[in-house]
Amino acid sequence: MNKSASMELEQCREDADRYRLLAEQSTDMISRHTATPDWIYIDVSPAVERVLGYSPEEIIGTSGYEQFHPDDADNLSKRDDSVRYNEGMYTNIYRYKHKAGHYIWLETTSRIIRDNDGKPIEIICVSRDVTEKEEAQRAMRRLARVVEASSDMIMFCNHKTQKLTYLNESAYHTLDSEKDTPVIYYLDQLFAPNVLESLVSDALEHASIHGVWYGSIPMKLPQQLNRVAEVREIIAHRNRRENNSVDYYSIIGRDITLKHQAEEEAKRHQLEMAHMSRLLSVGEMATGLAHEVNQPLATILNYCHGTQRRLAEGVDNPVATVSKTMELIVQQAKRASEIIKRMRSFVRKTEYQCLEFSINDSCKEVSEFLCQEALDHNISFDFNLDDASPLLVADKVQIEQVLLNLMRNAIEAYNDCNKAYRPVIITTWTTLGYIHISVEDKAKGISSEGLTNLFEPFYTSKSTGLGMGLSISRTIIETHGGQLWAESDGETGTHFYLKLPLRDQ
């Protein structure tokens, strides 16, 4: 062998040693396999112990194919989505059995080595453990499927431009848009200008500082959609690589059309029940109301007969006599008109109307409405009203209906009571942002069993009652954000307490 050939041989040995050193030091597992369906291990780098748990001696000579997960064994032959081909090399991601018995995810790049005739000799593989990466990606894909299938609206919003960069299927449906032909949305298209400048702006700022915001912000949807939606949550996502600044927001909303319709239906139902209760109350008071209306009518009739008689007897100044009588008749007619007006106002069917009014005035007006019934039962109304005359923001008709129910209950409490002093005491006071009203009687009181069932529908101690008044009253008060309850010692009387939030609450 000449000197040149000897040098080339030495160079080849050095290159081989260098490549073997690189293979032995590599964290990737480098393996050689037979070009047969069994993929018998011919050689493998020491990294096999870190990747698969086997020593090289344990795995050389065994079948590589048998260690594939059954679902991934034929990825290459089927050209599965996990397989990529590039310039004679295949890259495959699959599950492979570890010595400990569990499966790990491997990413293997393989090349077939052929002889001069093109016949396969062996297969060279470079494999690495990508379990952590693959499981993270699969978790992300699962999360993406959950987000896409969510019934909530989920939207990603750019921090600076306020452009929506992603909408899930529910968001597209609520906005009446198609995912296949997406429309570019910005926040100012989804909210009224005043809502965007105040509520949305504050919510985004809160999320950027604290990471998340919860609440309720109404969205602006096209009227023809007949849908109602609101934003419930905003999450700020930060860019860990750029000063931890906010990168984008996740905006989570909900189509509340069905809930809104149900609430409207419940409100209509409550109004119907309240109206029915007022009609029943007027029916129960019919005798007293008829007597109250009959008084001015009888007085007018007396004035007319008296004037006719005096004119027939020949008075000195008939014009003055008739004029005076007409004045008295007008007064009584106005009195009758006010009684009818008050009754019609009470029984009329109204929509929910939130007004500001004096609760003290309402207590007095309701007592005037019950004046005749109180006189018939020898009842006196005693008032202990807050000097500040607090204002309440509520549905005046409904609140007065509750007061009427409570005052009538107090009047009727004396029906089987022989006490001479028969007061109904109405008290108002304010504390800690609430107005309190109490209606008290000094009758026999209510037993503990009666108190337990007092507000139950159809429960009544009266022979003619339906037992709906107090049940409806409590519903009305709770709808206004308040409370209604009763207290009694069962012997000396009953207290009904009513608590409602003041205007600033």
CATH of the domain at 270: 1.10.287
How confident is the model at residue 84, as a pLDDT? 84
Does 170 fall in a domain?
Answer: yes
C-alpha 336/C-alpha 491 separation (Å) is 40
Does 138 fall in a domain?
Answer: no
Does 331 fall in a domain?
Answer: yes
How confident is the model at residue 461, as a pLDDT? 55
In this structure, the answer to whether residues 115 and 220 fall within a common structural domain is no
What mean pLDDT is reported for the chain? 80
Which of 11, 14, 16 lies closest to 3 in space, CA to CA? 11
In this structure, the answer to whether residues 314 and 245 fall within a common structural domain is no
Does 2 fall in a domain?
Answer: no
Give the total number of structural domains in the chain. Answer: 4
Can you tell me the mean pLDDT for 316-332? 77
Model confidence band, residue 465 (pLDDT cutoffs 50, 70, 90): very low
* Contact partners, residue 489, CB within 8 Å, separation at least 6: 445
In this structure, the answer to whether residues 369 and 487 fall within a common structural domain is yes
Q: Could you tell me if 307 and 321 are in contact, meaning their C-beta atoms sit under 8 angstroms apart?
A: yes
29: left (phi > 0), else alpha (psi -120 to 50), else beta? beta
**pLDDT per residue over 412-456, tens digit each?**
888 878 888 889 999 999 988 899 999 999 888 888 777 777 777
Tell me which residue range forms the domain holding 345.
Answer: 262-351
Which of 484, 359, 361, 501 lies closest to 431 in space, CA to CA? 501
Which of 307, 305, 304 lies closest to 315 in space, CA to CA? 307
Question: What is the DSSP-derived secondary structure letter of residue 218?
Answer: E
How confident is the model at residue 98, as a pLDDT? 93
In this structure, the answer to whether residues 277 and 248 fall within a common structural domain is no
Q: Which of 302, 336, 351 is the last residue of a domain?
A: 351
In this structure, the answer to whether residues 505 and 365 fall within a common structural domain is yes
**CATH of residue 407:** 3.30.565.10
How confident is the model at residue 467, as a pLDDT? 46
In this structure, the answer to whether residues 206 and 333 fall within a common structural domain is no
In this structure, the answer to whether residues 339 and 389 fall within a common structural domain is no
In this structure, the answer to whether residues 249 and 366 fall within a common structural domain is no
Does 294 fall in a domain?
Answer: yes
In this structure, the answer to whether residues 251 and 283 fall within a common structural domain is no
Can you tell me the mean pLDDT for 220-228? 80
Does 157 fall in a domain?
Answer: yes
Backbone angles phi, psi at 359, to 5 degrees: -70, -30
How confident is the model at residue 27, as a pLDDT? 81
Q: Give the tokens for residue 408.
A: 């009538």
Model confidence band, residue 466 (pLDDT cutoffs 50, 70, 90): very low
* pLDDT for residue 463 is more than 50: no
Model confidence band, residue 58 (pLDDT cutoffs 50, 70, 90): very high
Can you tell me the mean pLDDT for 356-378? 83
Top mean-pLDDT range of 259-268, 286-295, 309-318: 309-318
**CATH of residue 64:** 3.30.450.20
Top mean-pLDDT range of 261-265, 351-355, 422-426: 422-426
How confident is the model at residue 277, as a pLDDT? 60
Model confidence band, residue 383 (pLDDT cutoffs 50, 70, 90): very high
* pLDDT for residue 500 is more than 80: yes
How confident is the model at residue 411, as a pLDDT? 87
How confident is the model at residue 429, as a pLDDT? 93
Q: Which of 255, 285, 316 is the last residue of a domain?
A: 255
Can you tell me the mean pLDDT for 44-51? 89
Can you tell me the mean pLDDT for 371-375? 76
Which of 479, 397, 469, 477 lies closest to 436 in space, CA to CA? 477
In this structure, the answer to whether residues 217 and 270 fall within a common structural domain is no
Burial of residue 102 (CB within 10 Å: 0-12, 13-18, 19+) is exposed
In this structure, the answer to whether residues 217 and 338 fall within a common structural domain is no
Can you tell me the mean pLDDT for 36-53? 90
**pLDDT per residue over 149-168, tens digit each?**
788 888 888 888 888 888 88
* pLDDT for residue 253 is more than 80: yes
* pLDDT for residue 257 is more than 90: no
Does 417 fall in a domain?
Answer: yes
Q: Could you tell me if 233 and 214 are in contact, meaning their C-beta atoms sit under 8 angstroms apart?
A: yes
Percent of the chain surpassing pLDDT 90: 15
Top mean-pLDDT range of 294-303, 452-461, 469-478: 469-478
Q: How many residues does the chain have?
A: 505
Can you tell me the mean pLDDT for 38-43? 90
In this structure, the answer to whether residues 499 and 401 fall within a common structural domain is yes
Q: Spell out where 161-266 has E strands.
A: 164-167, 212-218, 229-239, 245-255
Does 52 fall in a domain?
Answer: yes
* pLDDT for residue 33 is more than 80: yes
How confident is the model at residue 464, as a pLDDT? 46
Q: Which of 336, 351, 366 is the last residue of a domain?
A: 351
Q: Which of 66-75, 279-288, 385-394 has the lowest mean pLDDT?
A: 279-288
Model confidence band, residue 254 (pLDDT cutoffs 50, 70, 90): confident
